[in-house]
Amino acid sequence: MPSQPLRRASALAIALTFTALSALPQHSAAQNLDFPPKKPVSLVVGFAAGGAADAAARLIAKKLAENIGQSVVVDNKAGAGGNIAHQQVAHGAADGSVLLLGSVGPLTIAPHLMKLGYDPVKDLAPVSGGVYFPNVLVVHKGAKVKTLAEYVQLSKSKPGSVDFASTGAGSASHLAGELLNERAGIDMTHVPYKGGGPALQDLLGERVTSYFSAPPTALPHIEAGKLIPIATTGLTRPPYLPNIPTVAEAGYPGFEALNWYAFVAPSKTPAPVLERWNQEIVKVLNDPKVKEALLKHGLTPQPTTRAELATFMKNESSKWAAIIKERKITAE
């Protein structure tokens, strides 16, 4: 056991050390927390203006700017299915001034299909969930089917006769169709398009049998009686299609294929800054007026912790990797 003088000396040494440390510049989490950023914030979106991602980004950016007292500017960087924007942000400024509204394709599907100029896990840090929406499987009236059971039966009775449109190889709409192929034991033919507009036009013209469409795109044509909704691809029915069953309800329990957008940032962004962004984004997504506006666009808010988003993305990546391998999907 130390002697009394030694204990006193030790106590004095500790006190002096503490005093000396207190006089040094502190690099604590509090001082690293340069928030809000001193310059306008760039909220990058990987798709052109006018789509679901852009609508969500603009609604959320406006409220974020009001809350933090700094400009939040939506920066549309369309191209390569969103991969251009993801690569730019992955290698962008890591000072908290850059956020990305990342999407299911570049974050959890594309890495299993092609070589990318970024690693979604290593180069991008999860911040918070954003919004999600299911696809709706629609057919033209000439298909003469009104239920998912009839649709599957048609595909089985006439192999190769049923095809489905998507917004491109490896897109969420493509993988939704491949997941149904796997779960229903059918072999629909995939017809990729360069966007929702061309896919929808060919469906309306009866040049393709079906399309896993974003609801806002299909709803006007459903309401006009030009397209028949067969099923939606979430686990629950969306409020704007309350009478249309989910694929899970229609005989394939657990079937889920969502379009989703989540907030990520360059991975070298300081953790305290990422945590503050999480708090601010969750606050906005829980705002009643923002929620109402998003739901009017068919978008369901999905605020999460950073850890919850990391787990969600890992699970999504594993699910789609298995389907890509099972269905032998390649980047076309």
CATH number at residue 149: 3.40.190.10
Q: Calculate what percentage of the chain has a pLDDT beyond 90.
A: 76
> What are the residues whose beta carbons fall under 8 Å from the beta carbon of 50, sequence distance 6 or more?
none
Q: Tell me the residue type at 267.
A: S
Structure tokens, 239: 């409020």
Domain match, 46 and 183 both: no
Sequence-distant (6+) residues with CB within 8 A of 21 are none
Q: How far is the C-alpha of 4 from the C-alpha of 14, rounded, in Å? A: 15
Span 235-289, pLDDT tens digits: 999 988 999 999 999 999 999 999 999 999 999 999 999 999 999 999 999 999 9
- The range of the structural domain enclosing residue 311 comes to 39-133+259-326
Same domain, 62 and 201: no
| CA-to-CA dists, residue 195 to 79, 250, 274, angstroms | 11, 28, 33
- CA 26 to mean position of chain CA atoms: 38
Assess whether pLDDT exceeds 90 at residue 169: no
Q: Is the peptide bond before 266 cis (omega within 30 degrees of 0)?
A: no
pLDDT for position 332: 66
Q: Where is the domain boundary, 183, 216, 232? A: 232
Co-location of 51 and 68 in the same domain:
yes
- pLDDT class for 168, splitting at 50, 70, 90? confident
**Span 51-57, average pLDDT:** 89
Same domain (yes/no): 125, 140: no
pLDDT of residue 310 exceeding 70: yes
Of 215, 232, 249, the position where a domain reaches its end is 232
pLDDT band at 17 (very low <50, low <70, confident <90, very high): very low
Average pLDDT over residues 14-35: 45
Is 180 part of a structural domain of the chain?
Answer: yes
Task: Compute the distance between CA of residue 156 and CA of residue 41 in angstroms, rounded to an integer.
Answer: 52
Residues 83-99 as b or e (16 or more Cβ within 10 Å = b): bbbbbbbbebebbbbbb
Indicate if 167 and 79 belong to the same structural domain: no
How many CB atoms sit inside 10 A of residue 28's CB? 8
pLDDT of residue 275: 97
**How many CA atoms, within 13 angstroms, populate the side-chain half-sphere of residue 168?**
16
Which of 167, 197, 232 finishes a domain? 232
User: Identity (one letter) of the amino acid at 45?
Assistant: V
As a whole number of angstroms, the distance between CA 30 and CA 302 comes to 28
Same domain, 65 and 121: yes
- How many structural domains comprise the chain? 2
Same domain, 127 and 145: no
Contacts of 286 (CB under 8 A, 6+ apart): 301, 303
Name which residue leads in pLDDT, 293 or 298.
293
- Burial grade of 160 (CB within 10 A; 0-12, 13-18, 19 or more): exposed
Q: For residue 246, give the DSSP letter.
A: B
DSSP sequence for 50-98 = TSHHHHHHHHHHHHHHHHHTS-EEEEE---GGGHHHHHHHHTS--SSSE
Strand partners, 200: none
Task: Specify if 191 maps to a domain.
Answer: yes
Q: What is residue 268's predicted lDDT score, i.e. its pLDDT? A: 96
DSSP element (H, E) containing 107: none
Task: State residue 151's pLDDT score.
Answer: 97
Q: Judge if 122 and 268 occupy the same domain.
A: yes
